[in-house]
């Protein structure tokens, strides 16, 4: 084999890349601080290289699954280095591989500079907490850090259902069972449906992908469990609407009522390239489900949720634009980078104007 995948993955970790892309007739490509960066010091990947890497990192049943579906997600670990979430796809007659870095050590809430409200939320006895954002925004890392904080501070039974398992949790104060989609269970919905018999206090669902999974997650939260999950949405109001719109029109009133009762918080995050150093900073919108938020969800007024968040700083709330504005004011990210992450750039510019937006 002309390329050694473990050597490339070692370089990926050393260069602080979040992702590795392998495509035939191209050199390996790293994503560093969100930017695609070809690695010309490695040889171009040939079709035989790609097949050899695929053979090396997959089990027989994974090879069979890929031959059937032409899609595959799984985890791959290099002892002493890190674990990686791997996606394989077929493109133009050849395989394409993408590796997402997952460190062995779970970063803490403080190390990630996450809002301190995360510590309070994970200690809640029941309800639904959602972490949302685009692909690559760190949702799984945030969930893992919150579960690790719980593991350090309270005796609970935790069950995670993931595709694939990313961070490996060791039992500390909690007992944590982790199920891998494919190896340990056939679907999120099936695993979640049987989860309650395993007597968990906390259930972590890697992603609420379909109506069945959403429905069972809400039911689990209704029956006294704390449920954490993710969605690929960009803000709190869009998250609520996405859940409601997943249901047929004749069921939407009922699900609005249920969601308003079980929802505890929505954290919507975006990662921004830092202005003066390597790495990225997280901008996080925080919506806590207080009485006003629950009323707006019930009354189909999700468009007013942003106003509640803007005025809810004493409860730990903030909009994404408020979070971005704070990062710009502190000099941690540039205005240009913040605007690229904002869903309302015009409003963000206005928010920064009083502090001298002209200097950015």
Provide the residue ranges of all domains of the chain, joining segments of one domain with +: 5-102, 117-359
Under the banding of pLDDT at 50, 70 and 90, the label for residue 138 is very high
- Residue 1, pLDDT above cutoff 70: no
Q: What is the structure's pLDDT at 251?
A: 97
For residues 317 and 27, what is the distance between their CA atoms, to the nearest angstrom? Answer: 44
Percent of the chain whose predicted confidence (pLDDT) is above 90: 90
What mean pLDDT do residues 242-270 have? 97
Sign of CA pseudo-dihedral 187, 189, 193, 197 = positive
* Whether residue 103 has pLDDT greater than 50: yes
Q: Are 142 and 118 in contact (CB under 8 A)?
A: yes
- Topology, domain 117-359: Rossmann fold (3.40.50)
3-class secondary-structure state, position 270: strand
pLDDT in tens, 178-207: 999 888 998 988 899 898 889 999 999 999
Q: What is the bridge-based pairing of β-strands 29-32 and 19-22?
A: antiparallel
* Matching CATH number, 5-102, of 3.40.50.1980, 3.40.50.2300, 1.20.1440.230, 3.30.450.90: 3.30.450.90
Q: Where are the alpha helices (DSSP H) in the chain?
A: 5-14, 47-57, 60-69, 117-122, 139-153, 188-195, 211-222, 236-245, 252-262, 291-298, 305-310, 320-329, 335-341, 345-352
The angle formed by the CA atoms of residues 54, 60 and 61, to the nearest 5 degrees, is: 110
The candidate with the shortest Cα–Cα distance to 304, out of 315, 313, 293, 291, is 293
What are 42-94's pLDDT values in tens digits?
Answer: 999 999 999 999 999 999 999 999 999 999 999 999 999 999 999 999 999 99
Q: Which pLDDT score, from 0 to 100, does residue 354 have? A: 64
| Same fold yes or no, 5-102 and 117-359 | no
pLDDT at 356: 45
On the question of pLDDT at 338 being above 90, the answer is: yes
Q: What is the DSSP letter of 185?
A: B
Average the pLDDT over 320-345 and give the result. Answer: 96
| Residue located via tokens 């990225």 | 280
Under the banding of pLDDT at 50, 70 and 90, the label for residue 359 is very low
Q: Looking at residue 156, what is its pLDDT?
A: 98
Q: Say yes or no to pLDDT of 335 above 70.
A: yes
Residue 2 confidence (pLDDT): 66
* β-strands 280-288, 263-273 pairing: antiparallel
Please state, rounded to an integer, the average pLDDT across all residues of the chain: 94
């Amino acid at each position: 084999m002309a390329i050694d995948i473990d050597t490339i993955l070692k370089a990926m970790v050393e260069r602080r890349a979040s992702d590795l892309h392998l495509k035939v007739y191209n050199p390996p490509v790293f994503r560093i601080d969100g930017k695609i960066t070809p690695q010309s010091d490695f040889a171009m990947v040939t079709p035989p290289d790609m097949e050899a890497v695929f053979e090396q990192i997959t089990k027989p049943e994974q090879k069979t699954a890929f031959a059937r579906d032409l899609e595959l997600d799984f985890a791959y670990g290099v002892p002493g280095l890190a674990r990686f979430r791997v996606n394989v796809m077929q493109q133009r007659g050849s395989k394409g591989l993408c590796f997402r870095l997952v460190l062995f050590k779970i970063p803490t809430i403080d190390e990630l500079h996450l809002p301190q409200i995360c510590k309070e939320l994970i200690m809640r006895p029941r309800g639904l907490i959602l972490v949302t954002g685009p692909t690559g925004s760190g949702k799984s890392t945030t969930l893992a850090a919150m579960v690790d904080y719980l593991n350090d501070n309270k005796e609970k039974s935790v069950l995670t259902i993931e595709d694939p398992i990313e961070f490996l949790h060791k039992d500390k104060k909690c007992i944590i069972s982790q199920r891998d989609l494919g190896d340990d269970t056939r679907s999120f919905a099936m695993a979640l449906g049987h989860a309650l018999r395993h007597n968990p206090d906390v259930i972590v669902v890697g992603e609420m992908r379909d109506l069945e999974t959403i429905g069972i997650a809400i039911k689990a939260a209704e029956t006294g469990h704390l449920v954490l999950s993710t969605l690929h949405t960009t803000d709190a109001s869009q998250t609520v609407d996405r859940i409601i719109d997943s249901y047929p029109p004749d069921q939407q009133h009922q699900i609005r009522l249920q969601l308003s009762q079980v929802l505890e918080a929505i954290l919507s995050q975006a990662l921004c390239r830092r202005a003066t150093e390597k790495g990225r900073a997280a901008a996080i919108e925080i919506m806590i489900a207080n009485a006003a938020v629950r009323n707006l969800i019930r009354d189909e007024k999700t468009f007013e949720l942003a106003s509640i968040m803007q005025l809810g700083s004493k409860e730990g709330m903030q909009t994404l634009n408020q979070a971005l504005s704070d990062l710009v004011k502190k000099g941690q990210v540039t205005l240009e980078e913040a605007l690229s992450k904002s869903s309302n750039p015009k409003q963000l510019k206005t928010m920064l104007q009083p502090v001298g937006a002209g200097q950015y």
